[in-house]
């Protein structure tokens, strides 16, 4: 396989207008949700990403017809079956776990090799299995494969943690069960809310959208529908930080600051200057007028500070005056990017697997650095944009699994970034 890299020459303030792409984290479960009905589902505003292509490949393996053109995915599911999904499909995509609920609800059986993807510490499948067993599934999994079967029943499901994908699995399974299913400890992220809205277009009724207690009134049969995927608030966050660290001025179209309340509040407290135009749905970020000061940032479940924006935020903190403390509460593998930042001259003290100090402001210098996962990769791009000299980022396949043409978008804002295939 060829090696994909970005080469960035830093120091250029980003300027101009940019439009946010559709959310991968919403599109993947929505594609899985097409399994719930027999007919054609149409999804619009779908980002063009490798992970999306893999999810569609899995559905084709199960007998669906799919097409993907100009941001619109069409899926016909009337001839679908449920059969064991081999590792060559699900091993590439941890997000394929969201097929468990829809397959189980419609066909009474779901079987797949263990899903793969990013290395973010242990992300066990236990929450999914526990939740679906509460709905009546029988767990027949082995060391080689996940295997659940049985006819599900509506009732009460208490999730063992605020798991986004486990919540989505239960929501989708519950949509196809006539009766009332109550989900406690439900995740409430914007992409979970998008799944909640999607199943209402299919004919289910949902109470408590965006809260941690959700009630689904399911139906025996659902009707396929059309749905527009929400924009990616994580991309909005990364572009906001890119404008700040390069001292640029960027107008972000298709932004919804309600999805990033605490993130934007933290930036305001640090001295970042931004304003939102509700009529135009644009967020204007003024890095020229901003002067960043150190702060404490702690990740939390939604609506707290998103774990997926902690690594890019770490780059901004290298440019802030004073000692910042970051506290990653959700994943133990998130701090690895700090060692890459240190190579570029950042002053970092890692206290433990979850906490670090970042002392700023420090000028960053161009180096060769690795992209450890999707979000760490985005952080390295930001570091390259504000570093002195040339930065080479390796393993950018990770970045391109999560961001739709990020290099092109940054180039449109004046960044010097080349995509190199070797």
pLDDT(144) > 90: no
Query: Is the pLDDT at 133 greater than 90, yes or no?
Result: yes
344 contacts: CB under 8 Å, gap ≥ 6: 364, 365, 366, 367, 369, 383, 387, 391
Per CATH, which fold does 24-228 belong to?
A: UDP-n-acetylglucosamine1-carboxyvinyl-transferase; Chain (3.65.10)
Q: Are 321 and 361 in contact (CB under 8 A)?
A: yes
- Residue 104 backbone dihedrals phi, psi, to 5 degrees: -65, -40
Mean pLDDT, range 310-333, rounded to an integer: 93
Q: Is 33 in contact with 46 (CB distance < 8 Å)?
A: no
Contact by Cβ (8 Å): 136, 150: yes
Whole-number Cα distances in Å, 33 to 37, 61, 123, 291, 310:
8, 16, 22, 45, 29
Per-residue pLDDT at 385? 98
pLDDT, position 121: 41
Cis preceding linkage at 303, omega within 30: yes
Tokens standing for 97? 């776990």
Q: What is the pLDDT of residue 117?
A: 45
From residue 347, alpha-carbon distances to 227, 319, 344, 362, 380 in Å are 46, 10, 9, 7, 15
Domain with CATH 3.65.10.10 in the chain: 4-21+231-421, 24-228
Give the pLDDT of residue 119: 40
**Residue 278, pLDDT score:** 94
Residue-wise pLDDT tens digits, 221-242: 999 999 999 999 999 999 999 9
Q: What is the pTM of this model?
A: 0.94
Q: With 50 as the cut, is the pLDDT of residue 327 above it?
A: yes
pLDDT, one tens digit per residue, over 347-378 is 999 999 899 999 999 999 999 999 888 889 99
Strand, coil or helix: what is 357? strand
Helix 233-245 and helix 261-270: axis angle, to 10°? 10
Q: Residue 122: its pLDDT value, please?
A: 42
Name the residue with higher pLDDT: 33 or 1: 33
> Can you say how many angstroms the Cα of residue 218 is from the centroid of all Cα atoms in its chain?
27
CATH topology of domain 4-21+231-421: UDP-n-acetylglucosamine1-carboxyvinyl-transferase; Chain (3.65.10)
Pairing label, strands 390-394, 65-69: unpaired
> CA 307, 378, 198: angle at the middle one, nearest 5?
60
The answer to whether residues 228 and 44 touch, using CB atoms and an 8 Å cutoff, is: yes
pLDDT in tens, 371-390: 888 889 999 999 999 999 99
Residue 365 pLDDT:
97
Task: Please choose, from the candidates 413, 384, 411, 400, the residue with its C-alpha nearest in 3D space to the C-alpha of residue 7.
Answer: 384
Q: How far apart are CA 179 and CA 147, in angstroms?
A: 25
Which pLDDT belongs to residue 207?
98
Whether 52 contacts 79, CB under 8 Å = no
d(CA 420, CA 8): 11
- Reported as a single tens digit per residue, the pLDDT across 281-307 is 999 999 999 999 999 999 999 999 999
Residue 288 CA to residue 270 CA, distance in Å, equals 14
Helices 374-386 and 233-245: angle between axes, nearest 10 degrees = 20
Phi (first) and psi of residue 222, to 5 degrees: -115, 150
Q: So which residues are the catalytic ones?
A: 118
Instruction: Work out the angle between the directed axes of helices 126-134 and 164-175 (0-180°, nearest 10).
Output: 30
Judge whether residue 189 has pLDDT over 80. Answer: yes
Q: Tell me the average pLDDT of the chain.
A: 94
Query: DSSP per residue over 83-102, as a string?
Result: -PBPHHHHTT-GGGGGGHHH
212 secondary structure, DSSP code: S
Asked if residue 191 lies in contact with residue 218, where contact means CB atoms within 8 angstroms, the answer is no
What pLDDT, in 10s, does the model give residues 95-122? 899 999 999 999 999 999 988 744 434 4
Question: Can you say how many angstroms the Cα of residue 314 is from the centroid of all Cα atoms in its chain?
Answer: 18
Each residue's pLDDT tens digit, 170-186: 999 999 999 999 999 99
Question: 34-91 pLDDT, tens per residue?
Answer: 999 999 999 999 999 989 999 999 999 999 999 999 999 999 999 999 999 999 999 8
Q: Calculate what percentage of the chain has a pLDDT beyond 90.
A: 87
Cis omega (within 30 of 0) for bond into 361: yes
**Best CA proximity match to 167, nearest among 182, 152, 178, 180:** 182
- The residue with tokens 């590439």 is 92
Q: What is the pLDDT of residue 97?
A: 94
Cα separation, 391 vs 403, whole angstroms: 19
Question: What pLDDT, on the 0 to 100 scale, is given for residue 1?
Answer: 56
Give Cα 295 distance to the centre of its chain: 25
Pairing label, strands 72-76, 40-44: antiparallel
Strand boundaries in 229-306, DSSP class E: 249-253, 273-277, 282-286, 296-298
* Proportion of the chain above pLDDT 70, given as a percent: 98
């Amino acid at each position: 396989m060829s090696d994909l890299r970005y080469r960035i020459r830093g120091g250029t303030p980003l300027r101009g207008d940019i439009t946010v792409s559709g959310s991968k984290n919403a599109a993947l479960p929505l594609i899985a949700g097409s399994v719930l009905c027999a007919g054609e589902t149409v999804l619009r505003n779908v980002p063009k990403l490798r992970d999306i292509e893999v999810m569609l490949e899995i559905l084709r393996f199960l007998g669906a017809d799919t097409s993907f053109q100009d941001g619109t995915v069409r899926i016909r599911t009337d001839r679908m079956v449920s059969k064991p999904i081999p590792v060559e499909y699900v091993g590439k995509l941890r997000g394929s776990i969201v097929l468990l609920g829809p397959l189980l609800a419609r066909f009474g059986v779901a079987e797949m090799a263990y899903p793969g993807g990013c290395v973010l510490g242990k992300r066990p499948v236990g929450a999914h299995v526990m939740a679906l067993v509460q709905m009546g599934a029988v767990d027949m999994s082995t060391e080689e494969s996940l295997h659940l079967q049985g006819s599900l029943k509506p009732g009460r499901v208490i999730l063992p943690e605020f798991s986004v994908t486990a919540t989505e699995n239960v929501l989708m399974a519950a949509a196809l069960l006539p009766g009332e299913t109550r989900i406690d400890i439900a995740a409430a992220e914007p992409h979970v809310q998008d799944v909640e809205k999607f199943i209402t277009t299919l004919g289910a009724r949902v109470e408590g959208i965006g809260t941690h207690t959700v009630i689904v009134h399911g139906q025996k049969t659902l009707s396929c529908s059309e749905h527009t995927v929400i924009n990616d608030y994580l991309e909005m966050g990364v572009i906001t930080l890119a404008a700040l660290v390069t001292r640029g001025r960027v107008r972000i179209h298709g932004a919804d600051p309600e999805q990033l309340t605490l993130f934007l509040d933290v930036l305001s407290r640090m001295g970042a200057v931004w304003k939102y135009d509700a009529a135009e749905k644009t967020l204007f970020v003024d890095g020229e007028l901003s002067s960043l000061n150190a702060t404490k940032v702690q990740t939390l479940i939604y609506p707290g500070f998103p774990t997926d924006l902690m690594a890019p935020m770490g780059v901004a903190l290298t440019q802030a005056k004073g000692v910042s403390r970051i506290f990653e509460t959700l994943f133990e593998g998130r701090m690895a990017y700090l060692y890459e930042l240190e190579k570029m001259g950042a002053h970092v003290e890692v206290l433990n697997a979850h906490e670090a100090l970042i002392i700023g402001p420090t000028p960053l210098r161009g180096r060769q650095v690795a992209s450890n996962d999707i979000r760490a990769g985005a952080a390295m791009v930001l570091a390259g944009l504000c570093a002195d000299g040339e930065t080479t980022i390796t393993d950018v396949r990770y970045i391109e699994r999560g961001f739709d043409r990020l290099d092109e978008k940054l180039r449109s804002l004046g960044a010097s970034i080349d995509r190199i295939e070797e």
